[in-house]
Amino acid sequence: MFESAEIGRTIDKSTFDAEEPALREALLEAQYELRQQARFPVIVLINGVEGAGKGETVKLLTEWMDPRLIQVSTFDLQTDEELARPPAWRYWRQLPPKGRMGIFFGNWYSQMIQGRVNGRFKDAELDQAIAGAERLERMLSDEGALIFKFWFHLSKKQMKARLESLRDDPLHSWRISPLDWQQSKTYDKFVRHGERVLRRTSRDYAPWYVVEGVDHHYRSLTVGRILLEGLQAALASPQRRAAQPHVAPVSRQSSALLASLNLNQRLPRDDYRHQLASEQARLARLLREKKMRRHALIAVFEGNDAAGKGGAIRRVTGALDPRQYRIVPVAAPTEEERAQPYLWRFWRHVPARGQFTIFDRSWYGRVLVERVEGFCSEADWLRAYGEINDFEEQLTDAGVILVKFWLSIDQDTQLQRFREREATPFKRFKITEEDWRNREKWDDYADAVGDMVDRTSSGIAPWTLVEANDKRFARVKVLRTLNDRIEAVLAKD
Amino acid sequence: MFESAEIGRTIDKSTFDAEEPALREALLEAQYELRQQARFPVIVLINGVEGAGKGETVKLLTEWMDPRLIQVSTFDLQTDEELARPPAWRYWRQLPPKGRMGIFFGNWYSQMIQGRVNGRFKDAELDQAIAGAERLERMLSDEGALIFKFWFHLSKKQMKARLESLRDDPLHSWRISPLDWQQSKTYDKFVRHGERVLRRTSRDYAPWYVVEGVDHHYRSLTVGRILLEGLQAALASPQRRAAQPHVAPVSRQSSALLASLNLNQRLPRDDYRHQLASEQARLARLLREKKMRRHALIAVFEGNDAAGKGGAIRRVTGALDPRQYRIVPVAAPTEEERAQPYLWRFWRHVPARGQFTIFDRSWYGRVLVERVEGFCSEADWLRAYGEINDFEEQLTDAGVILVKFWLSIDQDTQLQRFREREATPFKRFKITEEDWRNREKWDDYADAVGDMVDRTSSGIAPWTLVEANDKRFARVKVLRTLNDRIEAVLAKD
């Protein structure tokens, strides 16, 4: 969920200076159009890690736009007035009217995450608070509100560096956050519980946007663009209410995640033979462990065409007895499957405890091929992220160990492999017209992968991006990741 | 919530025999059309009190319709297969495909209510299960499923009588439920937790239908009609997905609740004077109690035009210092209020602890006048029941004592009062063209009131129906109810 916000993205000053004026003008224009239409309010929630630039970004927004039409609210300690009433009263009284924008600091998410971090309550109570937030936001959205939820993020290292630099700067030292943020334990807890909250509450009608907070140029332009595109789309929508549109910058932002991979990592043949044999033996041993009887194992393989999914899967199964695993190849749904909700075809293959199922492509088809090819509506794939998170949470709650791989190659490597396939008689069946067509949508797929990782990679079910230009490197990384993950889960038993 | 399912409604055999053939034929026809269109599945959840005729009704449905197109599933003890997988797997494997109907006994609701009744978990875990059910049903609905949720109900007395009669009947004694149902403690718990579940999960996309289970003719026709109207509406809807239509029989069923009132209860003048003074003194005393500082008090007054709301409110405030209460008269929303979500105008008047606010008409306008007059869309008022329940739960969670009155008069009494108003100079302003127009929609309002009570009357915020043909009787009943309720809440402190 936070992967793409920890890769250290920056935008240099000259790019920023070149882009800022146009963005600023467009935002102002959208803001006046919003007032003019007075058809819906805009609610912006500001959350995230301490020191990630929340305050600075909001300050900048009020400078870019007309501050008379923006109401910024902070919710720190409750006032006497507020304490005497139901907790939500303080938010209701600050709601922006139609045509205006309200920016909420220290909102319901801050309260619930802080409460959980401080140990004031447990997961069950956190889930109650989450359900309350979902109900509130769905109601607001049904009533027409356009909701943006920003999570400003820093890696632990980035946060420490930032807090230190702020402390040393006399102009900014007043900003230094409570002492406990200096401790990395607080960071870990905050991010862990924050992730649970984001996973549950990133819904089609009110998605989260995770923004990397290190560089102020990057973070300002990103937030500005997301707001602008979302506003413009909602203002242009003929519907009575504000639709929650899919905002492209997030994708552009996320595809940077793939671009940040070093795809050319290689493994020499001898190292490969040695490491492969050792990881295969390790897998065979792990699957025989007594503790595995309490778990099922699911491995999901997604990746570019010709990225080597099949080969990687064969190396995984190579060490195992065929009775120990089952491979589910996912292609077009059958007639029976089309007559059911889309997750049905995967639910039917959920392994029982002690079993191991490998999905060669998976439920992520909805947010990959179906999204890119338009096989389902935007509304369908937008809600799919939340549904998939629900699904995977049910799996892991029931003890399933879930490991998800995206095998990534670059365009040149793919082209070369396509040509090899065409030239090799027994591989020719593997290459079709469709593969060539998909290639043309390379960037769309990269966007879709970025969004997918942003919205569905979490502590309970992380994505592993596998650099796969070199098949040997990829296969060993897959096996090792699988083994590491099994070991980590069993160690916690 | 269960009020209208405890009034002992029956349908005699000859009426039943006259209606059954046509209903049966129409159901069969709808069923074949459903198969023909194969556009969406139908999921029917069967829940409720033991002995209320769940099994018999489903048996009858399979006799009326083509059983080959209905799949009945019971979920008792989990099988080994099911125990080895996430809990929801057993439901997914039984989902009906598009064009078919699946009837689920012992579904997710049974499991969560039973678990709570047996004390296996607390409210927080129950709320987690409820949130899970909401997510599942919303996903099913987004995927096109038409969902009916039936709660078969009996009052405690009715249940005891029914279980005894079954026990004495050799043909039916096998049906006798587990012994603990014979104990009224179980009934109380079951109904209390069931109400919490219904309150939270009665959503526009999957509403609950509460069916009184005493009389098998009544209950069979009611369920049959609800299914038929819901099916027909969804089959006729041009939308890609099955809409969850508003099904009229529930209303027709609920308006019976008003019809069941004895409106002519009277209070002689001397008794009135005496009782009024005594209840007013009691209210003044209660509001001065130290414990009241921890609570706020809200009284909601709704009722037919000319039912005497104003007079009743004056009798309530008559005993109090004007600084002790505030009256919020609710008319058309202001411009500022129209620019906000509809509950906003009520949130702003939520009293602080120690305060008492009287709403002369209220947030129920959405499901009464706005529904009947078409001031909002069907989708808006259908989702309002859930939103209102959420709102009121937040109030009572924060210590607000919430008392809701519906003042009910009959049409003759209203006519007489309208004429008197026209004849009395200082009352003439109280009668308008609109009042006469509203009269013409008497039955629509009765339906709306019935639905309102069915869906928003609960242990934490019950409706009190006040028989108001006699103003004296009504005023004393209002004051006494208010006092009783305050006392009951304070006693639990």
- CA–CA separation, A279 vs A349, rounded Å? 26
Q: Cα distance from A297 to chain B (closest Cα, Å)?
A: 11
Question: Above 70 in pLDDT, residue A172?
Answer: no
What is the average pLDDT score of chain A? 87
CB A440 within 8 A of CB A418: no
Q: B 230-259 residues with CB below 8 A of A?
A: none
CB B427 within 8 A of CB B308: no
The burial of B354, by beta-carbon neighbours within 10 Å (0-12 exposed, 13-18 middle, 19 or more buried), is given as middle
Q: In what order do the strands lie in the sheet with A296-303?
A: A325-329, A356-360, A296-303, A400-408, A463-467
Instruction: Please compute, for residue A185, the number of CA atoms within 13 A of its CA located in the half-sphere on the CB side.
Output: 5
Is the ipTM value over 0.90, yes or no?
no
Q: pLDDT tens, A195-240? A: 989 988 988 888 899 999 989 999 999 999 999 999 999 999 877 5
Q: Which two tokens stand for residue B314?
A: 């004056």
Over residues B141-146, mean pLDDT: 90
Q: Cα distance from B127 to chain A (closest Cα, Å)?
A: 6
* Residue scoring higher pLDDT (B183 or A21): A21
Over residues B274-297, mean pLDDT: 94
Q: Which residues of A touch B88 (CB under 8 A)?
A: 347, 394
CB neighbours (10 Å) of residue B1?
A: 25
What are the φ and ψ backbone dihedral angles of A90, each rounded to 5 degrees? Answer: -65, -30
Report the DSSP beta bridge partners of residue B152: B48, B211
Question: Above 70 in pLDDT, residue B254?
Answer: no
Q: Which residues of A touch B85 (CB under 8 A)?
A: 296, 350-353, 398
For residue B182, the model assigns a pLDDT of 62
Quick check: B86 contacting A, CB < 8 Å?
A: yes
Q: How confident is the model at residue A309 (pLDDT cuts 50, 70, 90)?
A: very high
Report the DSSP beta bridge partners of residue B406: B302, B465
**Among candidates A339, A347, A383 on the partner chain, residue whose Cβ is nearest the Cβ of B97:** A339
**Among candidates B97, B352, B395 on the partner chain, residue whose Cβ is nearest the Cβ of A81:** B352
Instruction: Test A139 with B387 for CB contact under 8 angstroms.
Output: yes
Report the DSSP beta bridge partners of residue A73: A104
* Residue scoring higher pLDDT (A237 or B268): B268
Q: Which residues of B touch A101 (CB under 8 A)?
A: none
CA angle B16, B246, B257 (to 5 degrees): 55
**Among candidates B84, B340, B343 on the partner chain, residue whose Cβ is nearest the Cβ of A352:** B84
CB A340 within 8 A of CB A281: no
Q: Which of A295-304, B76-85, B230-239, B310-319 has the lowest mean pLDDT?
A: B76-85
DSSP class per residue in B4-41: GGSS-----HHHHHHHHHHHHHHHHHHHHHHHHH----
**Among candidates B88, B124, B342 on the partner chain, residue whose Cβ is nearest the Cβ of A394:** B88
**Mutate which: B71, B125, B340, vs A, most A CBs within 10 A:** B340
Q: How confident is the model at residue B185 (pLDDT cuts 50, 70, 90)?
A: confident
CA-based nearest residue to B129, from B196, B31, B40, B178: B196
Q: pLDDT tens, B398-435? A: 899 999 999 999 999 999 998 888 887 777 777 777 78
CB B107 within 8 A of CB B75: yes
Q: B 107-126 residues with CB below 8 A of A?
A: 122, 124-125
What are the φ and ψ backbone dihedral angles of A308, each rounded to 5 degrees? Answer: 100, 30
Q: Cα distance from A128 to chain B (closest Cα, Å)?
A: 6
**Among candidates A38, A142, A344 on the partner chain, residue whose Cβ is nearest the Cβ of B383:** A142
Type of residue numbered B110? S
Q: Which residues of B touch A88 (CB under 8 A)?
A: 347, 394
What are the φ and ψ backbone dihedral angles of B289, each rounded to 5 degrees? Answer: -60, 145
Quick check: B376 contacting A, CB < 8 Å?
A: no
Q: Which residues of A touch B142 (CB under 8 A)?
A: 380, 383
Q: pLDDT tens, A414-436? A: 999 988 888 877 777 777 777 88
CA-based nearest residue to A193, from A157, A255, A151, A159: A151
**DSSP-assigned letter for residue B221:** H
CB B173 within 8 A of CB B148: no
Portion of chain A with pLDDT greater than 90, in percent: 47
**Mutate which: A125, A128, A400, vs B, most B CBs within 10 A:** A128
Domains defined for chain B, CATH in brackets: 3-246 (3.40.50.300), 269-492 (3.40.50.300)
H/E element, A248: helix A248-259
Q: How confident is the model at residue B106 (pLDDT cuts 50, 70, 90)?
A: confident
- CA–CA separation, B114 vs B122, rounded Å? 12
Find the helix packing angle between A442-456 and A433-440, rounded to 10°: 70
Q: A 384-443 residues with CB below 8 A of B?
A: 386-387, 390, 394-395, 397-398, 400
CB neighbours (10 Å) of residue B26?
A: 17
CB A45 within 8 A of CB A151: no
Residues 6+ apart with CB under 8 A from B422: B428, B431
Q: Which residues of A touch B92 (CB under 8 A)?
A: 343-344, 347-348
**Among candidates B38, B89, B352 on the partner chain, residue whose Cβ is nearest the Cβ of A85:** B352
- CA–CA separation, B332 vs B337, rounded Å? 9
Q: A 11-50 residues with CB below 8 A of B?
A: 38, 41
Handedness of CA A387, A388, A390, A395 (dihedral sign): positive
Instruction: Test A127 with B130 for CB contact under 8 angstroms.
Output: no
For residue B249, the model assigns a pLDDT of 42
Q: Which residues of B touch A351 (CB under 8 A)?
A: 85
For residue A254, the model assigns a pLDDT of 55
Residues 6+ apart with CB under 8 A from B50: B159, B163, B177, B178, B181
For residue A256, the model assigns a pLDDT of 75
- CA–CA separation, A218 vs B367, rounded Å? 48
For residue A321, the model assigns a pLDDT of 84
- Cα-based torsion angle of the residue sequence A182, A184, A186, A188 in order, rounded to the nearest 10 degrees: 150
Quick check: B97 contacting A, CB < 8 Å?
A: yes
H/E element, A384: helix A378-397
* b/e code A283-315 from CB counts within 10 Å (16+ = b): beebbeeeebeebbbbbbbbbbbbbbbebbbeb
- CA–CA separation, A401 vs B117, rounded Å? 32
- The residue of chain A nearest to residue B122, with distances taken between CA atoms, is A124
Q: Which of A334-348, A415-429, B468-482 has the lowest mean pLDDT?
A: A415-429
CB A453 within 8 A of CB A368: no
**DSSP-assigned letter for residue B246:** P
Q: Which residues of B touch A340 (CB under 8 A)?
A: 41, 95, 97-98
Instruction: Test B89 with A125 for CB contact under 8 angstroms.
Output: no
Under 8 Å CB pairs connecting chains A and B tally to 136
Q: Which of A294-303, B41-50, B162-171, B207-216 has the lowest mean pLDDT?
A: B162-171
Instruction: Test A340 with B125 for CB contact under 8 angstroms.
Output: no
Handedness of CA A222, A226, A227, A229 (dihedral sign): positive
Q: Cα distance from A309 to chain B (closest Cα, Å)?
A: 27
**Among candidates B89, B131, B342 on the partner chain, residue whose Cβ is nearest the Cβ of A143:** B342
- Specify the pTM: 0.78
Q: A 310-349 residues with CB below 8 A of B?
A: 336, 339-344, 347-348
Q: Which of A160-169, A283-292, A373-382 has the lowest mean pLDDT?
A: A160-169
Q: Which residues of A touch B133 (CB under 8 A)?
A: none
**Mutate which: A90, A122, A135, vs B, most B CBs within 10 A:** A135
Instruction: Test B341 with A99 for CB contact under 8 angstroms.
Output: no
- Locus of tokens 């989260």: A208
- CA–CA separation, A33 vs A37, rounded Å? 6
In this structure, the strands spanning B101-105 and B42-48 are parallel
Find the helix packing angle between B442-456 and B433-440, rounded to 10°: 70
Q: Which residues of A touch B84 (CB under 8 A)?
A: 296, 352-354
CA-based nearest residue to B388, from B306, B305, B461: B461
